[in-house]
């Protein structure tokens, strides 16, 4: 018998589209910088550092973000996740801890041709 409950995911906010503002391409990792206006977090700036697996078709990543909700309120977030590439798109899944005490599960699609990251954020706590 298991003492764990089934995981039911509820959206934290509407789907968000972040724009890639710059990229750094490297041998060990690639770094992208993004920005967007996101429902729960206001104006958001983010950096994601991608590490590669052996065949460079996926790997792990770490992200940092800052959301400016209004002139007096800023939240910070840090996440870790996994990614896999299919052609010009990468599919991302990460757990994010936010400075207001909440946690999210993010699922995203990075489209290098459109220079966007589409994110669905779900409530973990």
- Cα separation, 64 vs 117, whole angstroms: 14
Task: Write down how long the chain is.
Answer: 125
Classify domain 16-123 at the CATH topology level: Lipocalin (2.40.128)
Distance from C-alpha of 18 to C-alpha of 35, rounded to nearest angstrom: 5
Q: Using 50, 70 and 90 to split pLDDT, how confident is the model at 5?
A: confident
Q: Give 7's DSSP letter.
A: P
Domain range summary for the chain, segments of one domain joined by +: 16-123
Q: pLDDT-derived band of residue 1, with 50, 70 and 90 as boundaries?
A: low
CB 105 within 8 A of CB 9: yes
CA distance 19 to 116: 5
pLDDT tier for residue 54 given thresholds of 50, 70 and 90: very high
Compute the half-sphere exposure of residue 9: CA atoms within 13 Å on the CB side of its CA.
12
> Mind listing the pLDDT tens digit for each residue in 94-111?
999 999 999 999 999 999
**pTM, rounded to two decimals:** 0.92
Average pLDDT score over residue span 44-73 = 97
């Amino acid at each position: 018998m298991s003492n764990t409950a089934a995981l039911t995911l509820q959206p934290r906010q509407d789907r968000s589209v972040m724009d890639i503002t710059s990229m750094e391409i490297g041998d060990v990792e690639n770094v992208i910088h993004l920005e967007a206006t996101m429902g729960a977090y206001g104006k958001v700036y983010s950096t994601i550092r991608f590490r590669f697996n052996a065949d460079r078709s996926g790997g792990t990543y770490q992200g940092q973000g800052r959301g400016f909700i209004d002139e007096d309120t800023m939240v910070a977030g840090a996440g870790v996740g996994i990614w896999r590439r299919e052609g010009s798109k990468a599919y991302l899944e990460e757990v994010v801890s936010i400075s207001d005490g909440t946690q999210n599960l993010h699922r995203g699609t990075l489209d290098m041709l459109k220079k966007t990251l589409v994110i669905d954020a779900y409530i973990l706590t």
